Copies of this chain bind each other. A is one copy, B any other.
Amino acid sequence: MTSLPRIVITMGDPAGVGPEVCLHLLADSQIARQCVPVLFGDAGILRRVAAATKLPLHAPVISHEQWNAEWSAIDWPCVVDLQTLAADAVQPGVVNAATGRAGYTYVDRAIDAALAGQVAAVSTAPLNKEAMHAAGINYPGHTEIFAARTNAPRSCMMQYSEEITCTFVTVHVGYRDVPALLTKERILDVIELTAAALERLRDKPPKIVVCGLNPHAGEHGLFGDREEERIIIPAIEAARQQGIDIEGPLPPDTAFLPWKRKATDAIVCMYHDQGHIPVKALAFDSAVNTTLGLPIIRTSVDHGTACDIAWQGKANPSSIFSAVRLALRLIGTSPYA
């Protein structure tokens, strides 16, 4: 019997770079010393990608039925063949309804496995949203799939790297839809989830910064509709009363200054690009995407399907390695675990 945690890796959209970064991971001896990676995907596709990229595929392939019967005894890297697609049904870089549905199915089954307690965490390779939508699956991203499938009463996206870590009050909504989604309760939820996750990662009470919504954080009502005074400051004060070490709302362009981010464990952002712009600019190859507040631990690569280089062996697998390593550090942080 192994003492290593089992981690499900989902293969991502089969037409993208997901299969090849998963092949790198499955073959890595260092990863195999830290956990038992279990790849949920299509074995036929994976064999074609291995042949095309000259990457090795030595891990044994088992069926979904075999997994469900024998998961507790599995202590070696393996592939669970979900058989969603014929091996020859996919062209490299060509996403469509079939690849979108396949990518979603891997995630769906991975969530089942995690909710059933078969695995300690899920790390996901990239989906392609347009392919999913072509299949009639209308989630904007992994974050929303996991939140919906686990009925989490509150959750939020975190982008984590050693250089900079951001959490998000809103994510995949249009620019103009953000203000109506900002409430004291939602911001306080995100602050609490952020503080709990960072305390686990840092092993000490973290220092949290909260961004304003408006330029210069509204400059005392000069810009905007006093969202800072009406909504953000009350949430910060409520968090401070809980003993959270917190500062803000800062002018958004001040929050990311080099000395400020070095003195900060995490930055709470009001909208997608407020945090994604600096994370991608500063930590493009090391950031990991995760969802806080779920009953299961879930991390994800911070890149897309990169269809222009799919199945060519060019994709940099560092983000999926970072995702698995962060998942291992987060095990035990779920508020439900």
Binding site for B on A (CB under 8 A): 129-130, 133, 140, 171-179, 213-216, 218-220, 222-225, 227, 252-254, 256-258, 261, 271-274, 276-282, 284
Contact = CB atoms under 8 A, between A and B. Distances in A.
A109 to B, nearest CB: 25
Given A174-B224, A252-B273, A257-B284, 19 more contacts: A129-B222, A133-B222, A140-B223, A172-B216, A173-B215, A174-B214, A174-B218, A175-B215, A175-B223, A176-B176, A215-B272, A253-B273, A253-B276, A254-B280, A256-B280, A257-B280, A257-B281, A273-B274, A282-B282
Contacts of A277: 252-253, 256, 274, 277-278
B220 A130 contact: yes
A175 B213 contact: yes
Contacts of A175: 178-179, 213-215, 223-224, 227
B273 A215 contact: yes
Interface of A is mostly: helix
Contacts of A220: 130
State the oligomeric state as a number of copies.
Answer: 2
B276 A215 contact: yes
B176 A225 contact: yes
Contacts of A172: 215-216, 223
A279 B174 CA distance: 23
A147 to B, nearest CB: 17
- 4 closest A-B pairs by beta carbon, nearest first, are A174-B224, A253-B276, A215-B272, A256-B281
Contacts of A174: 214-215, 218, 223-225
A282 to B, nearest CB: 6
B281 A140 contact: no
A172 B284 CA distance: 29
A129 B216 CA distance: 11
A331 to B, nearest CB: 28
Given A175-B227, A224-B174, A219 B129 contact: yes
B253 A140 contact: no
A87 B101 CA distance: 74
Contacts of A176: 176, 179, 224-225
26 contacts: A129-B222, A172-B215, A172-B223, A173-B215, A175-B179, A175-B213, A175-B214, A175-B215, A175-B224, A175-B227, A176-B224, A215-B271, A215-B276, A252-B276, A253-B276, A253-B277, A253-B281, A254-B280, A256-B277, A256-B281, A257-B284, A261-B281, A274-B277, A281-B281, A281-B282, A282-B282
Contacts of A282: 281-282
Nearest to A278: B281
A329 to B, nearest CB: 24
B284 A258 contact: yes
B274 A253 contact: no
Tell me which of A256, A272, A281 has the highest count of chain B C-beta atoms within 10 A of its own C-beta.
A281
A279 to B, nearest CB: 7
Contacts of A273: 215, 252-253, 274
A32 B273 CA distance: 43
